[in-house]
Amino acid sequence: MQIIKKIDELRPIIKQWHREGLSVGLVPTMGYLHEGHKSLIDRAVAENDRVVVSDFVNPTQFGPNEDFESYPRDLGADAALCEAAGADIIFNPEADEMYDNALTFVDMNKITKVLCGKTRPIHFSGVCTVVSKLFNIVTPDKAYFGQKDAQQLCVIRKMVKDLNFDIEIVGCPIIREADGLAKSSRNTYLSADERKAALCLSRSLETGKKMIENGELSAAKVVDTIKAEIEKEPLAKIDYVEMVDLNNLETLETVQKPLLCAMAVYIGKTRLIDNFILE
Ligand code: AMP
């Protein structure tokens, strides 16, 4: 496995793979890889002849008061995980290599302005821009994204359709710790008490899912019950809990599939996200 930092070094390798008729899978990440990322890499390795994992903490998707500087980084550990999983290349560029005084950004309306987009107004422009650039640099046949970031997955699918990228987007299920907490690079910020408090996300989502399984049809009742459960936890502060139509991310009044029930919750200073989808 190779670690490549320069676009001009990566391109000829990928061109050669395409000439040889080899399929290429891309797994975009911000590094500090865990079992969630590994599940995407495993799937990409199973479905493609060659796999590129991008490992880039993308500055343009962080707001001014967010955790870009403190975001955890460990290229050595990431390389070991990728090598063991059977990836061929880690693409780990510097910010200047990716942006080099760039003036062009990819923006999207509507579905980037709701849910996480309300609190993080520039986030999805940064995501769409970096993912477009990665698509153009790596020219993959398939790209792998986690349902953990469900809104991001919807946004990327829409971008691929709108901009006619000839790439198949593969969505992968959420990987959780044994006690239910969704795996995240940001879990490393949590103190022992916060780690326990963070279970209110997955626990309250389970409660909401059960209400729907038992026939509850009011989306507001489900959301209010989830919020009430989170509010019992003193270290938690809700950013949002919403139930939306999975196709357009518009708020649902009545429980109707396919739906996304998504939340962002601050545990202390750490903002965590989680969700469930019913299709
Ligand atoms: P990140 O490094 O946080 O930007 O995540 C890179 C990719 O890994 C995204 O497509 C995420 O949705 C996915 N991912 C992160 N955590 C998980 C998880 N717990 N389960 C499944 N996929 C995940």
- In this structure, the strands spanning 50-55 and 89-91 are parallel
Atom of ligand 1 nearest to the CA of 34: 16
Looking at residues 232-256, what average pLDDT do you find?
A: 98
CA of 16 from ligand 1 middle (Å) equals 29
149 lines ligand 1 (CB under 6 A): yes
Catalytic residue among 18, 34, 37, 123: 37
Looking at residues 70-79, what average pLDDT do you find?
A: 98
Return d(Cα 121, Cα 269) in angstroms, integer.
19
Helix (H, G, I), strand (E, B), or coil: what is residue 171? strand
Looking at residues 137-161, what average pLDDT do you find?
A: 98
Closest CA to ligand 1's atom 12: 146
Confidence of residue 117 (pLDDT cuts 50, 70, 90): very high
Helix (H, G, I), strand (E, B), or coil: what is residue 125? helix
185 lines ligand 1 (CB under 6 A): yes
Bridge partners, 143 (sequence order): 26, 169
Residue 41: per-residue pLDDT: 99
130 lines ligand 1 (CB under 6 A): no
CATH 3.40.50.620 in the chain, residue ranges? 2-172
| CATH number of this structure's domain 2-172, picked from the four choices 3.90.1150.10, 3.40.50.620, 3.40.50.300, 2.60.40.10 | 3.40.50.620
Distances from the Cα of 163 to the Cα of 117, 129, 147, 157, 263, angstroms: 21, 12, 22, 10, 28
272 lines ligand 1 (CB under 6 A): no
39 lines ligand 1 (CB under 6 A): yes
Q: Which superfamily does 185-272 belong to? A: Pantoate-beta-alanine ligase, C-terminal domain (3.30.1300.10)
Q: What secondary structure letter does DSSP report for 57? A: -
Distances from the Cα of 13 to the Cα of 5, 28, 50, 135, 143, angstroms: 13, 18, 11, 15, 18
Confidence of residue 95 (pLDDT cuts 50, 70, 90): very high
Residue 114: per-residue pLDDT: 98
Residue 103: per-residue pLDDT: 97
Atom of ligand 1 nearest to the CA of 145: 10
pLDDT tens for each residue of 257-267: 999 999 999 99
Q: Please, are residues 14 and 138 in contact by the beta-carbon 8 Å criterion? A: yes
CATH 3.30.1300.10 in the chain, residue ranges? 185-272
Question: Has 37 been annotated as catalytic?
Answer: yes
Confidence of residue 67 (pLDDT cuts 50, 70, 90): very high
Confidence of residue 176 (pLDDT cuts 50, 70, 90): very high
Across 24-137, the runs of DSSP E, i.e. the strands, are 24-29, 50-55, 89-91
Q: Please, are residues 23 and 49 in contact by the beta-carbon 8 Å criterion? A: yes
132 lines ligand 1 (CB under 6 A): no
Residue 71: per-residue pLDDT: 98
Which residues, at least 6 apart from 69, have a Cβ–Cβ distance to it below 8 Å? none
- In this structure, the strands spanning 236-245 and 89-91 are unpaired
Atom of ligand 1 nearest to the CA of 30: 2
